[in-house]
Amino acid sequence: MRQKRVLPIAIVLFMVAALIASLIGTGGCAKTKEVAESGERPLYGGTLNMALMADPPGFDDAVRTHSSVYPLKLTHEELWEGDWTKGNAGGYGTGECDWFVGANNRLEHKAGALAESWEIQGKDTVIFHLRKGVYWHNKPPTNGREVTAEDVVFSWNRQCTATTAYIRTAYPKLCATVDVSAPDPYTVVFKFNDPNQFANWFTMSEYWYVYPKDAIEEFGNMMDWKNSIGSGPFTITDYVAGNMVAFARNPNYWGKNPIGPGKGDQLPYVDEMKMFVIPDDSTRYAAFRTGQIDILTCDWEAAPEFLAMPQLKYVRYLPTGYNVIYMRTDKRDSPYASRKVRQALMLAIDHKKILNEYYGGEGALLIWPMTYMKEYADVYVPLEQLPKSVQEQFEYNPEKAKQLLAEAGYPNGFKTKVICYMTRYQTDVLSMVKDMWAKVGVELEIEPKDYGTWLSICVRRGYDDMLMGTYAGANSYIVGVNWSGSGMNNGSYIDDPVLNDTRDKILAAFPNEAEADRIYRDMVPYLLDQAYVIQLPMHYLYRFWWPWVKNYSGEMSLGFWNEYNFVKYVWIDQQMKNSMLGK
């Protein structure tokens, strides 16, 4: 009998909103598409209500990881972000992007935020020209003063010096080799002493917010929501742990609607935004069902109820970043050092059975090193276009698996252990894998850990045999962190000369994204043929919303892990809402 599964908070923290009611997240595959609604003129006012699975861990991304500090997406800004007009944009955009998840970091899809324009000069200089007339929230000590280049320089340097800042801990060489300066109040110059760090900087360029220098000097940080001062479209008005985070419209926000009937309107449209903390699935679904929250993300099991409500709108998409088993391929005495063993383990899994029986046929087989998403379609190689040797890895063939194990010196199989997060979401699937591997002589021990312990193991790659972990989104292909280097996303300790050479060629080609795409695609067949990870099927997620949420098409993140920054474009048809709810 199939049991109800609970999505892990780990996904929330890593993928940022691919699971929001969550986060996480990534990988657009739309089931439906919104069209322009007869030229409706946007209206101001109303409240947009959404749900979180957990309290925000803080309000400062130099103290907590950028992707997990959800409120910052509404209150603070970056130099650039994803371009709203290149998505659906209420039916008026170009449709190049879905913006369902947060993994899109392509240069061609960026728009200015605090920066009005920029110049990329080779691989050693990037110049940002800031907008004039952008002001901090009108609170002491900034008191609504203008945002300056000095604030930007200060904020970047803080990311590179604060003890817990993600950029400092994940990219220490980048921090040590980039110089940032402000030649005037509206110009910021990044200089790269090591051109090889340019791609790393680009990866992180949309992963940090700008703070007012004087406020940080006074408060130390903004972990206390009452100290929050940004330049974004909303201000935080209240936070009650375990209950709600509330935001109010910033009347002095600089942003204008760039497209559609509301072109030129000052943003945002809604007066309020509320994030209700609702960890329990059934409670969250009930809140959406009764119109208490306006947008809901859920998995394939919960979706049928809402699909049966014709008044709702929805999209279906693939998240990214998990459902892989890593192996210690770096140990010479480990069975996983053998390609034949790795391929045998893939062949010994009935991938289609997991997809059909556990996920109800809702999902995809090929998910690593990146999940398909529309914005990276030129990079992703579909399974049917891969060599037969790769396609066969996803076909259940226990007899061939036994043959490969015998050829590798393991005719009777071997014992192994996999560490995972203590949630049904991982343990259920691993239990199916355990039964399948037992048929070829591989005895699997499943060792669940609490979230904190599991996360620490992921970050340190601190395991001896196997780990069910996470991987980086599609944007990471330019730096190859899923299949090279010493970071947590290279959980199989891959150190392959062919792949390392490919990574260097991609870095050399960037920022020529078309050439970088080509080099990557050419490498994918080789990478997958090595079976460096055991990838398991990925399920679909659904995002539903009530029709009174206007100018919305299922977006979650405009750009790189910017969940909720779409809110400034949304407006509420209050008359329709009242009518549908019988008010």
Q: Which residues contact 122 (CB under 8 A, 6 or more apart)?
A: 195
Residue 27 confidence class, pLDDT cut points 50, 70, 90: very low
Alpha carbon 522 to chain centroid, angstroms: 25
pLDDT in tens, 472-509: 889 889 999 999 998 889 999 999 999 999 999 999 99
User: Half-sphere exposure of 88 toward its Cβ, with a 13 Å CA cutoff?
Assistant: 25
Mean pLDDT of 402-431: 95
Residue 519 has pLDDT above 50, yes or no: yes
Per-residue confidence (pLDDT) for residue 37, from 0 to 100: 56
Mean pLDDT of 190-210: 92
Q: Which of the following CATH numbers is that of domain 9-317+542-580: 3.30.1360.80, 3.30.428.10, 2.60.120.560, 3.40.190.10? A: 3.40.190.10
Residue 36 confidence class, pLDDT cut points 50, 70, 90: low
Rg (CA), the chain: 24
d(CA 90, CA 258): 12
Does domain 324-539 fall into CATH 2.40.280.10?
no
DSSP 508-574: HHTT-HHHHHHHHHHHHHHHHHTT-SEE--EE-EEEEE-TTEES-SS--BSSBT-BTTTGGG-EE-H
Residue 34 has pLDDT above 80, yes or no: no
pLDDT in tens, 79-109: 999 999 999 999 999 999 999 999 999 999 9
Mean pLDDT of 513-517: 94
Residue 196 has pLDDT above 50, yes or no: yes
Residue 407 has pLDDT above 50, yes or no: yes
Query: Residue 117 class from Cβ within 10 Å (0-12 exposed, 13-18 middle, 19+ buried)?
Result: exposed
Per-residue confidence (pLDDT) for residue 31, from 0 to 100: 41
Residue 8 has pLDDT above 60, yes or no: no
Residue 35 has pLDDT above 60, yes or no: no
Per-residue confidence (pLDDT) for residue 26, from 0 to 100: 35
Question: Which of 166-170, 226-230, 268-272, 462-466 is least confident?
Answer: 166-170
In the chain, what are the domain boundaries? 9-317+542-580, 324-539
pLDDT in tens, 349-384: 999 999 999 999 989 999 999 999 999 999 999 999
pTM of the full structure: 0.89
Per-residue confidence (pLDDT) for residue 482, from 0 to 100: 95
